[in-house]
Chains A and B, each alone.
Chain A
Amino acid sequence: MSENNSTIFILDDEPGMLKALMRLLKAEGFTVQAFTSAKAFLESYSPETLSCMVLDVAMPELNGLELQEHLTRSGLLLPIVFLTGHGDIPMSVQAIKAGAVDFLTKPVKDADLLRAVRAALQRAVEQRELILEIASLRQRYNSLTPRESEVMALVVAGHLNKQIAADLGTGEHTIKVHRARVMEKMGFEALADLVRAGERLGLRSGR
Chain B
Amino acid sequence: MNWIVIIWSMTAAASLTLAAIHFLVWWQRRTAWAYVVFTVTCVGVAAFAGCELSMMLAESPEQFAVALRWLHIPTWVIVVSLVGFVRLHFRAGRAWLAWSVFALRSSAMLLNFLVGQNLNYREVTGLRHIQFLGETISLGVGISNPWMLVGQLSLLLFVIFTLDATITVWRRGDRPLAVVTGGSIVFFALTGMAQAVLVLWQVVDMPLTQSFFFLGIVVAMGYEMSRETLRAAKLSDDLRESETRMTLAAEAAGFGVWIWNLAGNRVWGSEQALRLFEFPLNAEVSFDEVTQRVHPDDRERVATARDRAMRSGGNYATEYRILLADGSERWIASRGRLYMSGNGKPDRMIGAVVDITDRKMAELELAQHRNELSHLSRVTTLSELSSSLAHELNQPLAIILTNAQAAQRLLAQEPPDIAETRDILADIVSEDERAGEVIRRLRALLKPGQTQRLPLSVNEIVEDVLRIARSDLIGRGVTVHTALVERPPQVLGDRIQLQQVLLNLILNACDAMTGNPPTQRHLTIATTHHNSKVRISVSDNGCGLLVEPERIFRPFYTTKQDGLGLGLPICRSIATAHQGRLWAQARSTGDVQPAAAPPTGGTTLHLELLAGAESKQ
- Contact across chains for B402 and A86 when beta carbons are under 8 A apart: no
Residues of chain B contacted by A28 (CB below 8 angstroms) = 409
In the complex the two chains form, what is the Cα distance from A21 to B401 in whole Å? 10
- Contact across chains for B398 and A27 when beta carbons are under 8 A apart: no
With beta carbons under 8 angstroms apart, the residue of B398, B401, B403, B479 that contacts A23 is B403
Q: Which residue of A lies closest to B396 (CB)?
A: A16
Given A23-B420, A85-B391, A60 and B479 contact (CB-CB distance below 8 Å):
yes
B156 to chain A, nearest CB (A): 112
- Contact across chains for A58 and B399 when beta carbons are under 8 A apart: no
Tell me if B474 is interfacial: C-beta within 8 Å of chain A: yes
B569 to chain A, nearest CB (A): 32
- Contact across chains for A58 and B394 when beta carbons are under 8 A apart: no
- Contact across chains for A108 and B474 when beta carbons are under 8 A apart: no
In the complex the two chains form, what is the Cα distance from A107 to B405 in whole Å? 11
Residues of chain A contacted by B409 (CB below 8 angstroms) = 24, 27-28, 110
The interface residues of chain A, by DSSP majority, are classed as loop
In the complex the two chains form, what is the Cα distance from A107 to B430 in whole Å? 17
In the complex the two chains form, what is the Cα distance from A17 to B417 in whole Å? 20
- A1-35 interface mask toward B, CB cutoff 8 Å, 1 = contact, 0 = none? 00000000000011011011101101110000000
In the complex the two chains form, what is the Cα distance from A108 to B395 in whole Å? 11
Residues of chain A contacted by B413 (CB below 8 angstroms) = 27
In the complex the two chains form, what is the Cα distance from A21 to B400 in whole Å? 10
The interface residues of chain B, by DSSP majority, are classed as helix
- Contact across chains for B427 and A20 when beta carbons are under 8 A apart: yes
In the complex the two chains form, what is the Cα distance from A172 to B13 in whole Å? 179
In the complex the two chains form, what is the Cα distance from A197 to B413 in whole Å? 46
- Contact across chains for A17 and B398 when beta carbons are under 8 A apart: yes
What count of chain B residues pass the 8 Å CB interface test?
32
- Contact across chains for B474 and A106 when beta carbons are under 8 A apart: no
In the complex the two chains form, what is the Cα distance from A23 to B409 in whole Å? 9
CB neighbors of A among B383-408 (8 A)? 387, 390-391, 394-403, 405-408
Tell me if A50 is interfacial: C-beta within 8 Å of chain B: no
Residues of chain B contacted by A13 (CB below 8 angstroms) = 474
In the complex the two chains form, what is the Cα distance from A58 to B397 in whole Å? 16
B348 to chain A, nearest CB (A): 69
Residues of chain B contacted by A110 (CB below 8 angstroms) = 402, 405-406, 408-409
Tell me if B424 is interfacial: C-beta within 8 Å of chain A: yes
Residues of chain A contacted by B477 (CB below 8 angstroms) = 63
Residues of chain B contacted by A85 (CB below 8 angstroms) = 391, 394-395, 398, 471
- Contact across chains for B391 and A107 when beta carbons are under 8 A apart: no
In the complex the two chains form, what is the Cα distance from A92 to B191 in whole Å? 131
A194 to chain B, nearest CB (A): 48
Q: Which residue of A lies closest to B394 (CB)?
A: A85
Tell me if A59 is interfacial: C-beta within 8 Å of chain B: yes
Residues of chain A contacted by B401 (CB below 8 angstroms) = 107-109
Q: Which residue of B lies closest to A19 (CB)?
A: B427
In the complex the two chains form, what is the Cα distance from A19 to B399 in whole Å? 9
Residues of chain A contacted by B390 (CB below 8 angstroms) = 86
Q: Which residue of A lies closest to B424 (CB)?
A: A23
Most A-side CB within 10 Å, residue of B413, B417, B420, B474: B474
Residues of chain B contacted by A63 (CB below 8 angstroms) = 477
Residues of chain B contacted by A61 (CB below 8 angstroms) = 519
Residues of A in contact with B (beta carbons under 8 Å apart): 13-14, 16-17, 19-21, 23-24, 26-28, 58-61, 63, 85-86, 106-110, 113
Q: Can you give 29 contacting A-B residue pairs, CB < 8 Å? A: A13-B474, A14-B399, A16-B399, A16-B427, A17-B395, A17-B398, A20-B403, A23-B403, A23-B406, A24-B402, A24-B403, A24-B409, A26-B406, A27-B413, A28-B409, A58-B471, A59-B474, A60-B479, A61-B519, A85-B471, A86-B387, A86-B391, A106-B398, A107-B398, A107-B401, A108-B401, A108-B402, A109-B401, A110-B408
